[in-house]
Structure 1
């Protein structure tokens, strides 16, 4: 696709468009690299002093297959395609990765119907997955407890921060700039120009793509959009298995999701650089970047608590939500949840690992925004919901955002 033409060309000829991309997470950098490759002049603006410091740099490094998502949704289509394109990119750029497959484990007979629903969903989404007996499951994961399991072959693991560094290098190789320590406070479209108010003064560009993650709805509203969903931050707390117990997990072991709760439950995932992650749970974060209980920003907490959708979500998930809170407070309970999948894991087998915060968009009625959500205004495109599996699907989302951007420019 040819670069978008600048509308303010004085000589009437097409020229290279200057595009600002807000955010240096994997979606922002994948989009920036794609635009830079086609010839646009790209400026990436990141408020922090490092790249990929939030959702991208704090997840478990899994390349997802698209197993859980509604057939035909962006998540289902882009995750399935992304499982291939992300690993292909890693091979091309020499980034650590491995296609491990994963095991979803029913540990009780009551969970088997849910597991079989997942198997049907895999078939609907065109994902290679097979139901296994307990003995067959132990051929893949010798230490799991299973009455039945689902083996998903497309799942893998990868070094997402390394992917981000590679994408940033591509932006620079094609003449773009990645500028850290620069927060974008608002954007205003005036004719053929987008004026950006930043912490370092004003920037003028031809168009904007906002991939601001935890702050995406705030920037959208300050830039003239009126999204009907709000970001509510949920902290996911992780542990790692101590080295002596890493042998208990060969690849990825997941529970059957609780249909009453909108998250996947704690699971065990081997890292591409060694070690085994355990988690995450899901509790309300007390700040948009609230990685610990003591990280509290009163104004941001007030924004979450003022959103009716949070209270309606909580009312529908009282029991599982209480379990998440209890597990957050007790390493023993955290270990007990993991031991349902792999018996023998004890509290002393867990070492603390960095937490993450999921930028989850919630509707006013308390329903989670189920799919990737993008809204546009003249010369502006805003990503308003891109939680997992956005890292897996980042290259596919970037292609979608390119089309949205060209439509927004007109």
Structure 2
């Protein structure tokens, strides 16, 4: 270097620092890329994404290339800085050059480019991947040799060099959906989260309880049956013999109208027009039952316990409402209709209301790991059928039993709407 002027050495040193900044920034940018967005852009045909994806398929070679280039440049820059320091300040210049170069490299070749690359990884990674790909081909013998030694050393330590799959867990996917912000409309985001929650919700959480199933005894007089059907609040009716546990089928009101139009309304034609009952084991998650409805071409089913006794009724609409919310055309009363705010600040609530829906509607946290309805929760808590005017407190929620009918709690008054 004796034949090279100090000015030229300074220009070379500045160029080496820029190259070092390139390697440092490229490393941070490549490692900061969103893998899922990268896959999407590769499928869309983005050239930069394709190049970056190919490099990241073998991260050990990419890191080896960047570190080889960065270290070579930094070592050469250190040697040049030492020569410049000795020319300007003699032996003391070595210490001065070391200090100045350390500060310059730290600020301009490390912190600054890495910060920019971390903030804007795609803007840095995609253009730089073109040069990195060329350098990888040129320096491939050296990179392969270094990686062979490194991987051998890691194998001795029992460390696997094969990258793990970066699949998202359900909770991680939930976090991603939450953090999409304005990229996804809030309504769509809620629907996605509801789909993720389907496996946590069972058919018992959304079913119509046994006592509220609209059913008709086929052994009744035909006139009684006719009157009940004409006043049916639902489009599908359960037909049974004497007891609800002896179900003979489901009847669609469309079939009833067809029979009435053709004046063929008899018990025999009703039974022939009905569809065989479809049974669902209690505890079935909603995501499983949704697939079963689709696979079996069913829209309605009866939930049975381990003894075969009917516990309730679930429809396809009930499951879909868990995803998209209540349908305005639903004949089933909504939760809000079972909640009646009073002038004194208390709230009257039907005992048959679902605890999950009540918590969702009121923003409460009543326990849902046991009974599914408010009536069941209170009976389990008291371990007895309560009387009217009995007050109690479950968790932090004080309440009073207002009305008991047919061994069931009909109405409950919640006294404090904002428990602490």
TM-score, normalised with respect to structure 2: 0.21
Where is the helix percentage greater, Structure 1 or Structure 2?
2
TM-score, normalised with respect to structure 1: 0.21
**Higher RCO (CA-CA < 8 Å; seq separation 6+):** 1
- Over alpha carbons, which structure has the higher Rg? 2
Where is the strand percentage greater, Structure 1 or Structure 2?
1
